């Protein structure tokens, strides 16, 4: 028997090495490691450790099952999907809460009439009193981001009057008392009345997809919106979070109708049909942001996906409970899972995992049966960074989210 049995293997190991080991652990394991010993606790609790840990976490897509059986779920490429705290499963709870924005592992959630910032990993939350839902007007959150020069987190929203005749833009630095009005400035937009039109263009619906956050700017592509200047070319609306000004940008000209801007692992990407009547979907990625050059990435053909799916099902040794309920007909939406895999929605219902090499990998189902799922375009990058204490002002009397699970 080796006579070193029982000695602390970690003894005399330089702290940088222990750091290097622990930083590779998933969030929950890091939390548990804090209880192992004083040294492990201090190594895993420094701001540098926690920020680097977050940086290494993958950005995972969130889908909405609308309560059947679960509401918001994080999809992992390991196959183990996870219900997102604090959303409660069950159809009857589906409209109590709503995911409005996400950034750096923090979510902005509407629960009943109130807004909160939540960290679904550590289950911390902070109430945002400034955004309370009130009768007679709408608040549409259009952005949630970290302002790079100051490190502040800011919420950007459009206030709309009940009759939708008036709107204005507001920003709140989380942790501060008062929000502030943001004047809409955009080169080539001379009149203040254009401000209203632009804001209505960005968020025609409360459920409009979130912006793509790239290089300190927020990018929206009004899906189906009409460009205010009449120029169909420059259709992406961009908000520079540092200068707080708007501008327009051109999407790939090779895509025609039925297209959507989405986040491809931090880069701007578009999916769309290459020509009217085509069933294929082409994906273009912004290759060079300065020069505004888009590059073709790959093509998704529903008929080859269907063939791939048939092959997979025919050769699959796994027991299949559900029968094939419908063939793949038309493409509805997609999000990126990782460098090689996509989640694609077909027929406005079926969600597949698909490898960009052309292989069907499996269905995504939140429960036993296939219900409609929404690819929210929100993403979660797990974070164990604690919520700053000064964010918790205006505490409400009864915290609505218990840390042991749901509301």
Partner 1 sequence: MAATTADGSKVVGGGEKSNVDEESKMITLFSSDGERFEVTQEAAAMSQTIHHMMEDGCVDDEGVHLPNVGSSILAMVIEYCNRHVASPDEKEDIRSFDAGFVNVEHHTLFDIIRAANYLDVKELMDLCCQTVADSIKSKSVEEIRELFGIVNDFTPEEEAEIRKENQWAFE
Residues 358-377 that bind partner 1 (CB under 8 A): none
Q: How far is CA 8 from the centre of its chain?
A: 42
Distance CA 117, CA 98 (A): 12
Task: By CB under 8 A, tell whether 339 contacts partner 1.
Answer: no
Closest distance to partner 1 from the beta carbon of 56 (Å): 12
Instruction: Judge contact between 155 and 172, C-beta under 8 A.
Output: yes
Residues 14-33 that bind partner 1 (CB under 8 A): 14, 17, 20-22, 24-33
Task: By CB under 8 A, tell whether 389 contacts partner 1.
Answer: no
Number of residues that bind partner 1 (CB under 8 A): 36
Closest distance to partner 1 from the beta carbon of 24 (Å): 4
Residues 35-64 that bind partner 1 (CB under 8 A): 35-38, 40-41
Task: By CB under 8 A, tell whether 78 contacts partner 1.
Answer: no
* Secondary structure E strands in 90-222: 97-103, 106-111, 114-119, 124-128, 137-147, 152-161, 167-173, 180-182, 212-214, 217-220
| DSSP per-residue string spanning 76-104 | -TTS--EEPTTPPPSGGGTTTEEEEEEET
Distance CA 363, CA 328 (A): 12
Give the residue with the Cβ less far from partner 1, 53 or 196.
Answer: 53
Instruction: Judge contact between 67 and 90, C-beta under 8 A.
Output: yes
Instruction: Judge contact between 67 and 91, C-beta under 8 A.
Output: yes
φ/ψ (deg, to 5) at 61: -75, 150
Which residues, including other chains, have CB under 8 Å from residue 288's CB and lie 6 or more apart? none
DSSP state of 186: B
Closest distance to partner 1 from the beta carbon of 133 (Å): 28
Closest distance to partner 1 from the beta carbon of 36 (Å): 5
Closest distance to partner 1 from the beta carbon of 52 (Å): 14
Per-residue interface string for the shown chain with partner 1, residues 100-139, x marking contact by CB under 8 A? ---------------------xxx----------------
Task: By CB under 8 A, tell whether 187 contacts partner 1.
Answer: no
Task: By CB under 8 A, tell whether 392 contacts partner 1.
Answer: no
Task: By CB under 8 A, tell whether 8 contacts partner 1.
Answer: yes
Residues that bind partner 1 (CB under 8 A): 2, 4-10, 13-14, 17, 20-22, 24-38, 40-41, 121-123, 403-404
């Amino acid at each position: 028997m080796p006579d070193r049995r029982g000695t602390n293997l970690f003894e005399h190991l330089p702290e940088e090495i222990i750091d290097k080991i622990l930083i590779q652990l998933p969030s929950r394991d890091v939390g548990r490691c804090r209880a192992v010993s004083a040294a492990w606790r201090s190594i895993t609790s420094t701001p540098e450790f926690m920020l680097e840990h977050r940086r290494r976490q993958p950005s995972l897509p969130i889908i909405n099952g609308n309560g059947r059986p679960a509401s918001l779920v994080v999809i992992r490429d390991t196959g183990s999907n996870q219900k997102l705290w604090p959303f409660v499963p069950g159809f009857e709870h589906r409209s109590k809460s709503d995911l409005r924005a996400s950034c750096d592992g923090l979510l902005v959630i509407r629960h009943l009439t109130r807004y909160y910032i939540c960290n679904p990993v550590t289950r911390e939350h902070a109430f945002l009193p400034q955004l309370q839902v009130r009768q007679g007007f709408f608040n549409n959150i259009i952005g949630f981001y970290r302002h790079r020069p100051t490190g502040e987190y800011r919420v950007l929203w459009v206030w709309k009057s009940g009759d939708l005749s008036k709107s204005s833009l507001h920003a709140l630095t989380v942790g501060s008392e008062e929000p502030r009005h943001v004047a809409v400035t955009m080169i080539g937009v001379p009149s203040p009345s254009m401000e209203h039109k632009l804001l209505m263009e960005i968020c025609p619906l409360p459920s409009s997809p979130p912006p793509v956050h790239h290089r300190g700017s927020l990018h929206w592509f009004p899906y189906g919106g009409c460009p205010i200047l009449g120029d169909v070319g420059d259709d992406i609306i961009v908000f520079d979070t540092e200068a707080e000004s708007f501008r327009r940008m051109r999407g790939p000209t090779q895509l025609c109708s039925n297209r959507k801007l989405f986040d491809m692992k931090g880069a701007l990407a578009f999916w769309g049909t290459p020509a009217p009547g085509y069933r294929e979907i082409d994906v273009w990625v912004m290759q060079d942001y300065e020069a505004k050059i888009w590059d073709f990435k790959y093509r998704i053909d529903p008929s080859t996906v269907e063939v791939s799916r048939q092959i997979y099902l025919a050769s699959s040794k796994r027991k299949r409970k559900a029968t094939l309920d419908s063939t793949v007909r038309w493409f509805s939406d997609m999000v990126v899972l990782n460098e090689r895999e996509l989640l694609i929605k077909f027929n406005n219902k079926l969600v597949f995992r698909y490898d960009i090499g052309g292989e069907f990998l499996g269905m995504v189902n939140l429960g036993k049966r296939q219900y409609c799922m929404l690819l929210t375009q929100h993403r979660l990058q797990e974070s164990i960074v604690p919520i700053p204490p000064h964010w918790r002002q205006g505490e409400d009397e009864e915290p609505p989210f218990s840390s042991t699970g749901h509301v």
